[in-house]
Amino acid sequence: MAPYPKELRVRVVVTVEEGRLSIPEIARLFQVGVTFIKKMLKLHRAGDPLDPRHGGGPTPVLQEKEGALLRQEIRERPDATLAELQKVLADTCQARVSLSTISRRLQVLHLPRKKKVSSPVSATKRPATSSGKSRARSISANTSLLTKWARTLGLPDCMAGRHPGRGSAIRCPGIGEATSRRSALSLLMASARA
C-alpha cells in the first residue's frame, strides 16, 4: 500500500487543530486510521516534516547525485565499461558500489550498458562455424540426389526442410518424411514398389 500523500497529512493535522471534530470523526471523514492521525499530530508537535518516509529496506546507495554523474559519464564516454564507471563513482563521489548495482542503476536511468572495452570492427568476415549450416548443405545435396531418384521413378520431387523442434528433414510429398538420405531412399523404393 502506498503511503498517504503529504496534502492529506496536512489536511488531517489542520482539521484536528481546528478542534471542531473529534479524532475518531476525523478518521472516518478522511478514511484513515486513528493511529495514523495520532502519529501525524506527534510529528507536527515535534516540529518534524509530515512527508512520507522511505518505504522500507535500505536506502539506495546511488542517489540522484550519483545518477546525474552516471548520465554525464555515459554522455561523454558512451563506451565506458561498468568497471570504469565504478572507478569514476569511487573517485568523484566516494561511493563504493558493485558492478551489478551500477548496471541496475543504468537500467533505471534507461542508459545503455557496456560490459567490454570496444574494439574496431574487423574488415574480414569470420568463417561460419555453425554445424547446422553444414548439415543443411549436406541435406540439400542429398535431396538433389533423391529428387533425381524420385523423377526416375516418376514420383514427386523430394525437398529439404525444417521441422519445428525436430531439426532438419527431407519431405517427399505424398510419400512421407525422413531425417536421413537412407531413410528417404527407403521411402522412395517402397513407394515405387507399391
The pLDDT assigned to 151 comes to 63
The cell for 78 is 558512451
Find all residues with CB under 8 Å of 70, minimum gap 6, and list them: 62, 85, 89, 102, 105, 106, 109, 111
Tell me: do 74 and 27 sit in the same domain.
Answer: no
CA 98 to the chain's CA centroid: 20
pLDDT at 161: 53
Residue 125, in any domain of the structure: no
* Domain assignment present for 94: yes
Residue 59 maps to a domain: no
* Contact indicator for 13, 21 with CB cutoff of 8 Å: no
Say yes or no: 145 and 188 in one domain: yes
> Is 115 part of a structural domain of the chain?
no
Amino acid 136: pLDDT: 47
Q: What is the pLDDT of residues 34-68, one digit of tens each?
A: 999 999 999 999 999 998 887 677 878 888 899 89
Is residue 120 a part of any domain in this protein? no
As a whole number of angstroms, the distance between CA 162 and CA 100 comes to 40
Determine contact, residues 12/40, Cβ cutoff 8 Å.
yes
**Domain match, 137 and 175 both:** yes
- Residues 55-106: tens digit of each pLDDT: 677 878 888 899 899 999 988 988 888 999 999 999 998 888 999 999 888 8
Question: Do 181 and 137 fall into the same domain?
Answer: yes
Claim to verify: residue 139 and residue 176 sit in the same structural domain = yes
- pLDDT of 58 reads 80
Q: What is the mean pLDDT of residues 21-45?
A: 95
In whole angstroms, what is the distance from residue 147 CA to residue 158 CA?
Answer: 5
Task: Specify if 56 maps to a domain.
Answer: no
- Give the whole-angstrom CA distance, residue 117 versus residue 81: 6
**Total structural domains within the chain:** 3
The answer as to whether 1 is a domain residue is: no
Does residue 40 sit within a domain?
A: yes
Q: Residue 30's domain spans which residues?
A: 6-46
